[in-house]
Amino acid sequence: MIRAPIDCDVHPVLPGLAALRRYLEPHWREQIVARGLDELESNSYPKNAPLTARPDFRGPPRAGADPGRLAAQALDPFATRLAICNCLYGVQLPFSEDLGAALATALNDWIAGEWLDREPRFRASIVVPTQNPARAVAEIDRLAPDLRFVQVLMLANDSAPLGNRLWWPIYAAAARHRMPIGIHAGSTYRHAVTGVGWPSYYIEDYAAQAQSFQTQLASLIAEGVFTKFPDLYFVFIESGWTWLPAFLWRFTKFWRGLRAEVPWVATPPAEIVRARVRFTLQPIDGPDDPAVLLRVLEQLGSDRLLLFSTDHPHWQFDDTDALPHWFPKALAERVLAENALETYPRLAGAAATPAPGEGNRS
Amino acid sequence: MNVALLDHPASQAVAQGVIDCDVHQAPRSLADLRPYLSERWWRHLEMWGLRRRLGPAVGPAYPKGQPGAMRRDAWPEGGGGAGSDLGLMQRQHLDPNHVAFAILNPLTPSAQGLQNPEFSAALCTAVNRWQVEGWTSQDRRLRASIMVPYEDGPAAAAEIDRWAGERNFAQVLLLSRTAEPLGQRRYWPIYEAAERARLPVGIHAFGYGGQPVSGGGWPSFYLEEMVGHAQCAAAVLTSLVMEGVFARFPGLSVVLTEAGFAWLPSLLWRLDKLWLRLRDEVPHVGEAPSATIRRQVWLTTQPMEEPEPRRHFRDVLEWVGADRLLFASDYPHWDFDDPAEAFPVALSSELRQAICFTNAAALYRLN
């Protein structure tokens, strides 16, 4: 390792709904028992699927469920200085915004109480109830004073494309608090996960996530999000990135032909992406031959795009090969920490230390 | 933008002729199809129209950039829409661009994916009869695609059987955006019939399956839909591989039309890695997805990829494999590719000959 990295994607795993009880209001604490609520495990990551947890990360305790174990497995081997926790518990899945908002609030307080308070290297994303953007904004505003929350987390497939203006209040709130929007692989399953309907197999679902990110990038650009929010970064998390050059070529070609439809998009799409969109490193969808991937890196046309990530405990690489050995040294410097520091203002300087009293918000 | 054109190669004339794998002909009006429909179905068409899985009764889901997404110079003076006049098509495209053979893919009206399955089947048959009488029998260079009612597998197979063995038809036509991913079992009778008839299956962008073009809902703009066809094609290809369609029908050839091709390498890398990790779920997939796809899948070139800088086009050619590519112009649509101007870099004559002629001649058995 060249320098202590910042890991922009690790996954704390909620042991179960019961763990949220002490963070829920009495009404909801009673409801989850009285109504026998099931666990909100998402179909995006089947618990026992090989990809969901690397064999040597599995427990008991369950992979990702214990803060100390996660730090030992994901942070210590890389001498990681900071790691951003993205919890994927499915609070966005219920159709009731009331239930979604109650669970999101409890989940965020659980993250603060059980993760951020226990390990000074952890930072976290705010999980928001996207059932109703207004409720999401309230959750962002509630947690923003705690500077250990550094990002707002959304999923790669929701009820409407993420550039759609119904989401803009969320982006305004994030920009107000100097947080990027992190978009993570996954779905609220309001629609089939592919543009051609529901697939038969999980492998198709996971493969399709890369296509979902492409359509979301098209939506964010076409709707004018980057014009409306000039200081807002978007971080594509667990999106893959080798698809980016070909996507930009195609998008740029059609933008030239059809830009009368979106006159507010006045900058070439590749420039927008290089300035405002970031991608976590893992997974690396490439062949074994480093020469090919080096050419993809050249096609990306910028050393600012990638952010180091392990995607722990998902099984994306073996041993400690998160950053491939062939990565160019100068680029590695940027990817390991500098790009993240530029993307996440809250990681820098004083923001890295929580102010007194902000540790326990529950 | 203008800078990018500076390294555009000089026009490369195509002396040997080209095989154009995507040309769109259309009837002047629905009345052209009346001779091929029974009284019952003509009355149905007049009374109920073409009910697709889409809100508007006529027209596309997203307004195009220009009327009908057609070249403005391709509308016949005597009336009818672009693509409806064979004489104009010959004068404007087939003759000056040295088209040796053209694969016809009728899209408007599409009889495919209509809500009423019986009407869909009847209208497909009518369109195919019109294609023979109005087009392939009128110009020896033209080969049609069999329009099939793909949401009803057995009916689609029957339509393929009806035309199998006729030189008028070069392939089976599907659209990419079906009700379910095209690898699923309900569509297998189509592949079985196509393999039996030794016809490739062309899967053209667009369709009326009722699903939004993205996994995250309906986007707002035609721009997004156009770009989204590449992502849909990736999902279709994933489905065909993971359902084991290529292994079950080893003689099947699939042509992805008008969905681009530069996205393919990244998809293959991702699928190969995921297959190694998750193959327990798909034990019927017996080899790396990239190996299957490089054997049984072809892609048409239009709309041509335009990397910046353009030299990256050579990376794409190497990673996709020039043997997988088939030239297409998409005449008479607005984003037409001229065979002399379309390639963003100068190609060797061998490579050019392969993409513009020999790959398609071998696949469609044209000579």
Check residue B4 and give its pLDDT: 44
Assess contact for A354 and A147: CB atoms under 8 A: yes
**B243–A249: do the CB atoms touch at under 8 Å?**
no
Say if strands A82-85 and B99-104 run parallel, antiparallel, or are unpaired: unpaired
As a whole number of angstroms, the distance between CA B325 and CA B53 comes to 32
| Whether A346 contacts A147, CB under 8 Å | yes
B183 interfacial to chain A (CB closer than 8 Å): yes
Nearest to A219 by CA among A159, A142, A308, A138: A159
Task: Give residues with Cβ within 8 angstroms of B342, minimum separation 6.
Answer: B301, B302, B304, B327, B329
A219 contact residues in B (CB cutoff 8 A): 214, 216, 219-220, 224
**Which residue in chain A is spatially nearest to B216 when comparing CA positions?**
A157
Measure the CA–CA gap between A312 and A61, rounded to whole angstroms.
15
Chain A interface, mutation test: which of B150, B184, B213, B231, most A Cβ atoms within 10 Å?
A: B231
A 146-185 → B contacts, CB under 8 A:
156-164
Q: What is the mean pLDDT of each run of 10 residues along chain A (362 residues)?
A: 85 97 97 95 96 96 97 98 98 98 98 98 98 98 98 98 98 98 98 97 98 98 98 98 98 97 97 98 96 98 98 97 95 97 88 42 36
Among candidates B184, B211, B269 on the partner chain, residue whose Cβ is nearest the Cβ of A242: B269
- List all residues of chain B from 134 to 163 with a beta carbon under 8 Å from chain A: none
Q: How far apart are CA A266 and CA A227, in angstroms?
A: 9
Enumerate helices (H) and strands (E) in chain A, giving the number of each: 12, 8
- What's the rounded Cα separation, in Å, for the pair A71 and B108? 59
Rounded to whole angstroms, how far apart are CA atoms A314 and A310?
A: 8
Nearest CB to A199; choose among B178, B181, B220: B181
What CA–CA distance (Å, rounded) separates A24 from A100?
Answer: 12
Q: Is A194 on the interface with B (CB under 8 A)?
A: yes
The rounded distance, in Å, linking the Cα atoms of A208 and A186 is: 10
Q: pLDDT tens, B218-245? A: 999 999 999 999 999 999 999 999 999 9
| Average pLDDT score over residue span B155-164 | 98
Q: In whole angstroms, what is the distance from residue A215 CA to residue A192 CA?
A: 14
Q: Which residues in chain B are closer than 8 Å to A260, comparing Cβ atoms?
A: 65
* Phi, psi of A157, deg, nearest 5: -135, 120
The answer to whether A195 faces chain B, any CB pair under 8 Å, is: yes
Q: Which pLDDT tens digit goes with each residue over B270-291?
A: 999 999 999 999 999 999 999 9
Distance CA B224, CA B260 (A): 14
Distance CA(B292)–CA(B269), nearest Å, equals 13
Question: How many CB atoms lie under 10 A from the CB of residue A260?
Answer: 9
CA distance A24 to chain B (A): 30
Contacts of B255 (CB under 8 A, 6+ apart): B21, B171, B200, B201, B202, B203, B297, B298, B299, B300, B326, B363
Chain B residues closer than 8 Å to A287 by CB: 269, 272
The C-alpha atoms of residue B245 and residue B267 are separated, in whole angstroms, by: 18
Q: Tell if the CB–CB gap between A195 and B242 is shorter than 8 Å.
A: no
A186 interfacial to chain B (CB closer than 8 Å): no
Check: CB of residue A208 under 8 Å from CB of residue B238. yes
Interface test with A, best of B227, B277, B310, B317 (most A CBs within 10 A): B227
Top-level class of domain A6-352: alpha beta
Task: Tell how many helices (H) and how many strands (E) occur in chain B.
Answer: 12, 8
Q: HSE of B128 in the Cβ direction (CA atoms, 13 Å)?
A: 28
Average pLDDT over residues B292-320: 97
User: Residue B221 is nearest to which of A201, A262, A270, comparing CB atoms?
Assistant: A262
Q: How many CB pairs under 8 A join A and B?
A: 246
The answer to whether the CB of A158 falls within 8 A of the CB of A190 is yes
Give the whole-angstrom CA distance, residue B54 versus residue B59. 10
Q: Report yes or no: A18 and A69 within 8 Å, Cβ to Cβ.
A: no
**Cα B12–chain centre separation:** 25
Which of 218-277 (A) contact B at CB < 8 A? 218-219, 222-223, 240, 242-243, 245-247, 249-262, 268, 270
Please indicate whether, in this complex, the C-beta atoms of A196 and B218 are within 8 angstroms of each other: no
SS3 state at B127: helix
Query: SS3 of B275, please?
Result: helix
**Helix, strand or coil, per DSSP, at residue A192:** coil
- List Cα–Cα distances, B122 to B36, B66, B164, B171, in angstroms: 9, 31, 18, 19
Name all domains of chain B by residue range, CATH numbers in brackets.
14-364 (3.20.20.140)
Contact state of A261 with B307 under an 8 Å Cβ cutoff: no
β-bridge pairing B99-104 and A181-187: unpaired
Q: Which of B127, B28, B120 is closest to B77 using CA atoms?
A: B28
Task: Name which of B215, B270, B306 is nearest A249 (Cβ-Cβ).
Answer: B306
Query: CB neighbours of B40 closer than 8 A, spacing ≥ 6?
Result: none
Per-residue confidence (pLDDT) for residue A2, from 0 to 100: 52
3-state secondary structure of A98: helix
pLDDT at B25 over 50: yes
pLDDT of A149: 98
Nearest to A359 by CA among A124, A192, A152: A124
Nearest CB among A201, A215, A258 relative to B216 is that of A215
Q: Determine the Cα–Cα distance for residues A274 and A303; give it in Å rounded to an integer.
A: 9
Whether B307 has its CB under 8 Å from any CB of chain A: the answer is yes
- pLDDT greater than 50 at residue B74: yes
Helix residue ranges per DSSP H, B178-288: 188-196, 222-242, 245-248, 264-278
Distance of alpha carbon A104 from alpha carbon A130, whole angstroms:
10
Cross-strand bridge partners of residue A153: A127, A182
The count of other CB atoms within 10 Å of the CB of residue B59 is: 10
Q: A236 contacts in B (CB within 8 Å)?
A: none
